[in-house]
Amino acid sequence: MTHYSRITQIVIDVPPAVSEAEVKFWQGATGHELKRIERFPEYHGGLLREHLGLLVQELGDGEPRVHLDIHTDDLDAEVARLEALGAERVAQERLWWIMRDPAGLIFCVIPEPAESFDHSEAQRWD
């Protein structure tokens, strides 16, 4: 099935004890404000450029890490495509899938409305 996807977010996962310092650091490092996201208060985020955001996420547990978010207009098709490349599902969280790449690194696949995709920064998959 034809669908679109793109890497849309760089996510920095940190324990709550260092979240505030991490937000301040990345605001200073990038020159971009990272605002608390009301719907998901564990996130602070902002756009680095069109279609590429930076998020600092407070983890409930786990070690600090960086992961990528892939947004797609067809979640099922994109997850299946990535599984065929060697990824595996870890857990479904809210509306998206947490996945693991062949090296064991975590990433997320997140649904996005089809009208938000264009040919300039999204990959079309047939």
**pLDDT tens by residue, 59-96:** 987 889 999 999 999 999 999 999 999 999 999 998 99
How does the average pLDDT of the chain come out, rounded?
94
- Model-level pTM greater than 0.75? yes
Query: What CATH number does residue 14 fall under?
Result: 3.10.180.10
Judging by DSSP bridges, how do beta strands 35-37 and 65-72 pair with one another? unpaired
Query: What percent of the chain is modeled with pLDDT above 90?
Result: 83
From CA 58, how far away is CA 85, in angstroms rounded? 29
- State the pLDDT at residue 116: 81
Whether pLDDT at 117 is above 80: no
Containing structural domain, residue 12: 3-125
Residue type, 57: Q
pLDDT at 11: 97
Number of domains in the chain: 1
- Model confidence over 89-108: pLDDT tens digits? 999 998 999 999 999 999 99
Task: Pick the more confident residue, 36 or 51.
Answer: 36
Instruction: Band the pLDDT of 23: cuts 50, 70, 90.
Output: very high
What mean pLDDT is predicted for residues 29-53?
94
**Neighbouring residues of 60: CB distance < 8 A, sequence distance ≥ 6:** none
What's residue 119's pLDDT? 66
The tokens of 108 are what? 């997320």
Distance CA 114, CA 4 (A): 8
